[in-house]
């Protein structure tokens, strides 16, 4: 491999000749060989904020951010935003807790790539690309931008797709009556469409909660610089750069009013991830419902069938398992684990800065990406193929002792309970037990006992 010599305040260091990063990135690359790379969504967000910062600086301090420099930064930043330079961002999540080295990675890549474009040494990573900024305000800004954009671009389409699939399933099963269940025990009747509507409505409410949690994330720390005072940033930079970011992304970002809060608190991300955890909890419940209802094929509930996507056993021929449900529930527990990490990390801000930011945003984005892909897979490979076993639902309904609830207003709770115990103990139908106890005539029973009217 060919190398070139780069210099920083600590001296000289060899850098791969075909990479745009510089000395500070290389030092981090050599010193932190821990875990996975910084998420691409963070790199993309940095491209946006560096572009916006250059434009704001050009407006406020054109003597320093000249048109020539702005044009060069814009070209390099656009390449980052378009995903053309991701190979030049080698740094990992587990580095400095402020994300300083990732900020410098972006500064160095933009400077070196822009200098290559213009054919001369025009830009300095710190003086030009990082003008009016600090790692302490750029990284939290990138966190917010990446969180919002990933939810908009990935999670919402996936979640809406599942909601729509349940709407279709709901309509297909209108009027199909089955036994309800509470405490894993037989309960009063419910229509299958009503049961599905509960799943759908839970997801719609999750969407609403996630959406409401995004508004605080649209407050940006940029302009706070090192400790929240805005040192070395021109007056009005925070407002101007937020407007530029809003213009680039089409999202209504604005500057955070209290920059001291913006640097040290990560409450907005904790709050938003809590909404993601709520979604994960509902998905866990829905996936479990579906795999219980599909259990069998002969010895389980068997009230629905789900697609048979692949063999389920290496030893039991013909076995098919609810694998999409299992994948979704594993994602759900991972999201719950991520939530614990995010909450603990957010609690560790000391004085003017939180130094657990990379792990917070890595877990946040992992949750969004996992949920997005798992929901799509679950929708396409499971939900869209669900079919009601209507005969099994009918048989189970007719065999349910909890239909006796329809008789309670006419014979009383205690007598209805006696009917159930007699029917269960002697393996009688509810009608047979009621007539044997003499609580109703056959005609009266037929008038009062209408399961289809109990929903």
Name the catalytic one among 247, 313, 347, 421: 313
Q: What are phi and psi of 449, to 5 degrees?
A: -95, 95
Residue in 405, 406, 417, 387 with CA at minimum distance from that of residue 447: 406
Cα 264 to Cα 38, 172, 232, 268, distances in angstroms: 21, 51, 19, 11
Residue in 24, 102, 96, 145 with CA at minimum distance from that of residue 356: 96
Assess contact for 127 and 57: CB atoms under 8 A.
no
For the four alpha carbons of 359, 362, 368 and 371, in that order, the dihedral sign comes to negative
Q: In angstroms, rounded to a whole number, what is the distance separating the alpha carbons of residues 23 and 62?
A: 28
Name the catalytic one among 9, 63, 183, 314: 183
Q: In angstroms, rounded to a whole number, what is the distance separating the alpha carbons of residues 148 and 167?
A: 27
Residues 6 or more apart whose Cβ sits within 8 Å of residue 226: 134, 136, 137
Residue in 174, 16, 179 with CA at minimum distance from that of residue 108: 16
CB atoms within 10 A of CB 223: 28
CB atoms within 10 A of CB 381: 16
Residue in 448, 436, 368 with CA at minimum distance from that of residue 403: 448
Assess contact for 230 and 236: CB atoms under 8 A.
no
Determine whether 183 is an active site residue: yes
Q: In angstroms, rounded to a whole number, what is the distance separating the alpha carbons of residues 433 and 430?
A: 5
Residue in 253, 241, 200 with CA at minimum distance from that of residue 52: 241
Determine whether 273 is an active site residue: no
**Is it true that the peptide bond before 321 is cis, omega within 30 degrees of 0?**
no
Q: What residues are labeled active site? A: 183, 313
């Amino acid at each position: 491999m060919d190398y070139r010599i780069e210099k920083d305040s600590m001296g000289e260091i060899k850098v791969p000749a075909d990479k745009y990063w510089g000395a500070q990135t290389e030092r981090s690359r050599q010193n932190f060989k821990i875990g996975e790379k910084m998420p691409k969504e963070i790199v993309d967000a940095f491209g946006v904020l560096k572009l916006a910062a250059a434009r704001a600086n050009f407006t406020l301090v054109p003597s320093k951010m000249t048109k020539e420099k702005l044009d060069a930064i814009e070209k390099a930043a656009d390449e980052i935003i378009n995903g053309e330079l991701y190979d030049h961002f080698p740094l990992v999540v587990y580095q400095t807790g402020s994300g300083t080295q990732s900020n410098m990675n972006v500064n160095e890549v933009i400077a070196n790539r822009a200098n290559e474009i213009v054919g001369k040494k025009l830009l300095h990573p710190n003086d030009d690309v990082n003008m009016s900024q600090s790692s302490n305000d750029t990284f939290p800004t990138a966190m917010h931008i990446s969180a919002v954009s990933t939810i908009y671009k990935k999670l919402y389409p996936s979640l809406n797709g599942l909601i729509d699939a349940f709407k279709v399933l709901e309509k297909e099963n209108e009027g199909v009556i089955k036994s309800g269940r509470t405490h894993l025990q037989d309960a009063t009747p419910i229509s299958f469409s009503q049961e599905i509507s509960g799943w759908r409505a839970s997801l719609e409410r999750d969407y609403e909660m996630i959406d409401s949690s995004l508004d605080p994330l649209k407050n940006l720390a940029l302009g706070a610089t090192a400790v929240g005072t805005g040192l070395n940033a021109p007056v009005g930079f925070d407002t101007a750069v937020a407007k530029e970011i809003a213009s680039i992304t089409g999202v209504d970002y604005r500057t955070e009013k209290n920059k001291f809060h913006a640097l040290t608190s990560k409450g907005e991300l904790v709050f938003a991830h809590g909404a993601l955890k709520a979604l994960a909890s509902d998905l866990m419940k829905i996936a479990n419902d579906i795999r219980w209802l599909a259990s069998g094929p002969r010895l389980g509930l068997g009230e629905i069938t789900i697609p048979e996507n692949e063999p389920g056993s290496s030893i039991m021929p013909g076995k098919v398992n609810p694998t999409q449900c299992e994948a979704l529930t594993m994602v759900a527990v991972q999201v719950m684990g991520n939530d614990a990490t995010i909450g603990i990390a957010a609690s560790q801000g000391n004085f003017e800065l939180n130094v657990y930011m990379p792990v917070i945003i890595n877990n946040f984005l992992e949750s969004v990406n996992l949920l997005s892909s798992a929901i799509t897979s679950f929708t396409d490979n499971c939900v869209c193929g669900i079919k009601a076993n209507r005969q099994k639902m009918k048989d189970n309904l007719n065999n349910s002792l909890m239909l006796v609830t329809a008789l309670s207003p006419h014979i009383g709770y205690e007598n209805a309970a006696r009917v159930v115990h007699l029917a269960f103990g002697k393996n009688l139908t509810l009608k047979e037990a009621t007539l044997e106890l003499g609580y109703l005539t056959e005609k009266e029973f037929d008038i009062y006992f209408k399961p289809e009217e109990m929903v």
